[in-house]
Structures are given as C-alpha cells and as structure tokens.
A and B are shown apart, each in its own frame.
Chain A
C-alpha cells in the first residue's frame, strides 16, 4: 500500500499538482507578470468568441454522445460472441482508433477536396454542392461524421467487453419469464452494461472536448468560425502569447469539463443504484 501510493504520488500526483498550480499562476501573470486578480476571467467570459466556441463545443459533444453511444451498442450487439471471427472483428474495429488525429484530418482533406474528393463527387450526383471551405454546415458535419467514424469503434469495443461479461443464465431466466427481446435488452443488457457505458460516455465526452487536430487541418477552424472549438480557441490565444487570457480560458474550460463529467458520473452511478434495488 505505502510503496504503491508513493509511486502513485511521485509519478502522477506531484507533477500534476505542480502543473495545475503552475497553470493557476499563469492566470495571474500577464506578459508582464503582475497580479490582475480576476480581470482575465471576466474578459474571457465576456468575449463573444469564447462564448461562441463554448456553445459550439457543447452542441458538438452532446451530438457526439447521442450518436456514438447508441451506434456503439448496436455494433457490439451484432458482433459474434465466440469463434475465430471475434479476434478479426476486434482487430478491424481497433484499427481506426490507432490512426493519429492529424492523419484523420488528412483523410478528411483528401475525401472532401472540392472537385476531386470522394464526398463532393458523390454528393454532386444528388446535385448537392458540398464545399467545406465555403459552407459552415458542411464543415461542421464533416468534423462530426469524422469523429463518429473515428471513435464509435471505441464505444463498440467497450460495450462488447461489457456484453461478454453477462452470463447466459440471465438471458435464460428472462426467456423463461417470457420477456420480449426489447424488454430483455432494457432490463438485462442495459443495466449490466452500466459500468462500461460510464467509461465510454466519460471518455468520449472528455475527448470530444479536446478535439483539435481535425478542424485545424480541415479548414483551420473555418469557414468563419464554424469549427472553432474550445481547444482551438485557447491554443490560438496561447500561440499569440496572450497568456493571461489563455490561462484563464483554459481553467474555465477545465472546470466545465470536470463539472460535466462529475454530473455524468454521479447520474449514471445513481441510475444504476436505483435499478439494483
């Protein structure tokens, strides 16, 4: 116990605390490190660019969860339970996860290049003029679908792991009770998937908040600011050495992520408790 916690604190706690303290200190230091109190925070919160990025970000993250989680469950349910096909499916699903974010951005660029990309050409068949550098909706949809493509396998893999852990006896009992397949899903499968779904939802929520490389590579956050998500906004400020602003907005950003994750964590844990009783 003691050695474990010692290693834990040396390897994770202390540097991380230092870093968090560090970022806190930065907030109060401008380019000339003077103490400015909460001025930076007020400036950030009043900034329409920040507000816009935040709303866009929340909309994006909620959309991601609404699409990826049900889709992931469906995929997990349709995967074979045993036999040689299992390893094959797992490997195939694992491959998109291993593609670096910026390669995903490159894929997006290649797929959506106007006049020669696959997607614009395909949509042109339906007389739809698809252009990510011209239409905000197209750019947003591209980033959204890209994220769904990239990360649904993660949710699917997690759910699959959860499904494997449900003993057949549960289903047999439910069948004897004459449960329909929907009821079986609702009252047997779903509650048992709870713990992996918590992990899945939290991971996807946190990571969708971190989205950075894809919009940067696709359109650099544009057209206009249609795909300028929070991290892009913060990084842009940090790169232009507005450190006070960047520090304050990072902290607000971190705070929002933690609050949302905590709410998800509590909600999902409590829903489960209610069902177990």
Chain B
C-alpha cells in the first residue's frame, strides 16, 4: 500500500520539475538565466511579469485566446449534445461506422487542413476573426465531445426517457429538466477537454490569424528563433498561459471527479 503512494509521489514530483523550472526561470533576470545555473532565483524579480501586463500586444493576445476558446467550447457542446444523444439512443444501420468516421476527423492532422481552411475563411470573410479559429477548432473538439458525452449518456437507462415522456413531459422540457442534470458531470468533463485542446492548439490558430485575433500561443512563438531570446519573458508568458487552464480545472474539479467516478470518459 505504502509503496504505491511512494511511486505516485515520486511521479508527481518528476511531473512538476519542468513546471517549477519554468516558474523559476520567469522570476530571474535575463543575466542570471544566461550566466549560471541556479535552483532558486538569486535576484527575485517580477520585471518579466510587469512587462507582459503593460504590453498591449500580450494583453490582447490573452484576451483573443480566451474569447475563441470559450466560443469554441460553447459551439462544440451545442453541436455535440444532440448528436451524442442520437448516438446513444438510436442504433441505426451503419451508426457504428458513422461514429468511427467522426473519430477520424479527430485524427486528422491539423497540418492537412491548414491550407483549405485558410482559403475557405477568406472566401467567407471571416479570416482573422475569433469565429474562424473557434470554428476550425470544432474540427477536433466536436468529435471528442460527442465521444465523451455518448459514453455518459449510454450510462443513463433509457427507461428514464420513456417514463418522462409518459408523464407528459415535452421533449425539450425533459431534456432540460431531467436529462441535462443527469449528464452534467459529463458535460463538465467534455467542456474541460474541449477547453484544453482548443487552448493549446497552435497550427490552425497560427494559420488563421494575422493581427486582430492573434492568440497568445502565436505571440509566444514570435519571440523564439531570433537571436537574444528573452527567456525570462517567454517563461513568464508560459506560466501565465497555464493560469486560465488551472482556473478551469479548479472550477470543474468536482465534475471531473464525479465524471471519472461514473467511469465514463
């Protein structure tokens, strides 16, 4: 029993070394980063963070990222909930194949879609908007959300649907009052995964934005590759990109725990 926990704790420590190292770097001066290896910053400085908060480029990129990620989560869930319901309640001819076909969209490497998406959004005049990125990210988030939600919905007995309809509930009322609360943990888990994958996606976000909707992940790459990289600044920005995710995890932690307890992901 104890051996188990020692293994787990060791693993968690290893898991956090890189994160610690980044926080560590973000609190150092550029000089210290380049000169020597220090486990704890010698001259503790918040200069890197101050620079980010005062720069309008960084501020707007963070805002852009948050906007399109939230938009994407909403669109994905609205599209995925009815679809998952259909998949869980009706087994029709070829539904199995349809399901696998959906998953193949999740598999499609973003590099494949980069060029067609750019062309498509140019024609639709939504290139370089939040909507463009949010829609593009639906490509991999809708299948994932359907997949997760279908699992949760299949776990709820069909008798509940039937009883509610016999009791005179209209379908929308049944869905909102009875069914939705039952799958709420599943929606939480799905939202968490959609948020994660949209937040960290780089290729499509980079290809579909120039200035107006430029997300933080792209801003981060710009400073790299050039000579004299500002490591402290990049590390600070990196730490800040983890913050929204950490907040989301904090809020949905009970849902996730509950969702996992249902054994359906």
A238–B89 alpha-carbon span in the complex (Å):
42
Say yes or no: is A98 at the interface (Cβ < 8 Å to chain B).
Answer: yes
A265–B217 alpha-carbon span in the complex (Å):
33
Partner of B257 from A3, A7, A86, A95 at Cβ < 8 Å: A86
Interface footprint category on A? 35 or more
A18–B261 alpha-carbon span in the complex (Å):
39
Q: B244 to nearest A CB, angstroms?
A: 8
Interchain CB contact under 8 A, A250 and B220: no
Interface footprint category on B? 35 or more
Interchain CB contact under 8 A, B37 and A121: yes
A243–B119 alpha-carbon span in the complex (Å):
13
Say yes or no: is B66 at the interface (Cβ < 8 Å to chain A).
Answer: no
A78–B7 alpha-carbon span in the complex (Å):
7
Select from chain B the residue with minimum beta-carbon distance to A167: B263
Q: Which residues of B (21-79) have their CB < 8 Å from a CB of A?
A: 21-22, 25, 33-37, 75, 78-79
Select from chain B the residue with minimum beta-carbon distance to A74: B7
Interchain CB contact under 8 A, A91 and B104: no
A-B contact pairs, 28 of them (CB 8 A): A8-B82, A11-B79, A11-B142, A15-B135, A19-B113, A19-B120, A23-B112, A80-B5, A90-B256, A90-B260, A94-B249, A100-B216, A100-B241, A101-B202, A101-B217, A103-B242, A107-B18, A107-B238, A158-B265, A162-B265, A164-B263, A165-B263, A209-B109, A210-B109, A220-B225, A238-B111, A238-B115, A250-B112
Q: A200 to nearest B CB, angstroms?
A: 9
Q: A270 to nearest B CB, angstroms?
A: 14
Residues in chain A within 8 A of chain B (CB atoms)? 1, 3-5, 7-8, 11-12, 15-16, 18-19, 22-23, 26, 74-75, 77-80, 86-87, 89-103, 105-107, 109-111, 116-118, 121, 149, 153, 157-158, 160-162, 164-166, 196, 199, 202-203, 206, 209-210, 212-213, 217, 220, 230-231, 234-235, 238, 243, 246-247, 250-251, 253-254, 257-258, 261-262, 265
A26–B139 alpha-carbon span in the complex (Å):
19
Q: A55 to nearest B CB, angstroms?
A: 17
Determine, out of B8-16, B156-164, B176-184, the stretch whose residues face the partner at the interface.
Answer: B8-16
Say yes or no: is B234 at the interface (Cβ < 8 Å to chain A).
Answer: yes
A79–B238 alpha-carbon span in the complex (Å):
29
A3–B265 alpha-carbon span in the complex (Å):
25
**Given the contacts A8-B83, A100-B217, A87 and B115 also touching, CB distance less than 8 Å:** no
Say yes or no: is B105 at the interface (Cβ < 8 Å to chain A).
Answer: yes
Residues of chain A lying within 8 A (CB to CB) of residue B107: 202, 206, 209, 254, 257-258, 261
Partner of B138 from A12, A75, A230 at Cβ < 8 Å: A12
**Given the contacts A23-B113, A254-B112, A116 and B37 also touching, CB distance less than 8 Å:** yes
Say yes or no: is B203 at the interface (Cβ < 8 Å to chain A).
Answer: yes
Say yes or no: is B165 at the interface (Cβ < 8 Å to chain A).
Answer: no
Interchain CB contact under 8 A, B86 and A1: yes
Partner of B249 from A22, A80, A98, A220 at Cβ < 8 Å: A98
A3–B4 alpha-carbon span in the complex (Å):
49
Residues of chain B lying within 8 A (CB to CB) of residue A153: 15
Interchain CB contact under 8 A, A106 and B220: yes
Say yes or no: is B147 at the interface (Cβ < 8 Å to chain A).
Answer: yes
Q: B167 to nearest A CB, angstroms?
A: 21
A11–B83 alpha-carbon span in the complex (Å):
10
Interchain CB contact under 8 A, A19 and B116: yes
Across chains A and B, which 6 residue pairs bring their CB atoms closest together, nearest first? A165-B263, A98-B245, A4-B82, A11-B79, A250-B112, A22-B116
Residues of chain A lying within 8 A (CB to CB) of residue B21: 107, 110-111, 118
Residues of chain B lying within 8 A (CB to CB) of residue A209: 107, 109
A62–B254 alpha-carbon span in the complex (Å):
34
Residues of chain A lying within 8 A (CB to CB) of residue B16: 92
